[in-house]
Amino acid sequence: MDPKELPSILRDDKISVETNKLISSLLSRTDSQGQKLCKYQGCWYYYNTLQGVLNFQSGFQPQDTDIILASYPKSGTTWLKALTVALLERSKNHSYSSDDEHPLLYDNPHGIVPCLEMDVYHESSSPNLAKFSAPRRKFSTHMPLHAMEETLKHSPCKIVGILESLFESFCNGTIYYGPFWEHLLSYWRASLEEPKHVLFMRYEELKAEPRHQIKRLAEFFGCPFTKQEEESGVVDKILDLCSLRNLSSLEVNKTGSRNDVDHKDYFRKGEVGDSKNYLTPEMEYKIDMIIQEKLQGSGLKF
């Protein structure tokens, strides 16, 4: 495939001379698609993504009211972004009808809540953040927490932490943003140490108890549902608006693209346990054993 046809995050055409020098000193691998990965601060990145990480680390100035949605790729990011937008838009008294001016009806969730290293800082360490100023800045990231720790250490901003590659790459940790277990543990430990600033959510719990989990998320953001909102059905309206069924049916999510990925491709089944349709019992067992070993003693269980 022509490198120019690859998604921008897989390419190496936006790296600086300094980053290129850094990469030459890092451990590197080639993934199953033939694309180059390098290991920086314990995490594997494609070269263009690493440039975004470095730009973020050197240029991001956190604000106390910032919300950062941190997730491993393909773990419910789109849904979490939509829920966050809907929760923070409640003060505008949306009707949730088709003629409403709700931002989710006119833009993809990834357009409203951009990824720090892929969208905001992918080309510069000093992007214009003015358009994210009101009422609260909302960003996402796939970086493990230790990649942001130095940058965020003086800010009490809110962080919400929530497999798609070849099996062996996942198991040995040499996968994009991997190792998977280190990513999880970084946010899990932070949620125990600073529960007011880091909320750890499991996709399975969000699917099983959506009403309870969305209330938990609202309380964490400092905007709990009022009794009047609950009685008028606002919780259910938000869940309906943000359901994958509804979001995938919106025209804005049937067309357009972001980071060379079609909007429609952000919406998959979203079913817990769907891995059984792709992994053999032996593969599932191996993953379970690896995760059990890596999480042992942490208190985190799945």
Supply the residues annotated as catalytic: 142
Work out the number of other CB atoms within 10 angstroms of the CB of residue 146: 15
| Mode of pairing for the β-strands spanning 67-70 and 43-46 | unpaired
Q: How far apart are CA 213 and CA 277, in angstroms?
A: 27
Question: Sheet of 43-46: strands edge to edge?
Answer: 27-30, 36-40, 43-46
Longest dimension (CA), the chain: 59
What residue type is assigned to position 33 of the chain? Q
End-to-end Cα separation, the chain, in angstroms: 38
Q: How far apart are CA 211 and CA 205, in angstroms?
A: 10
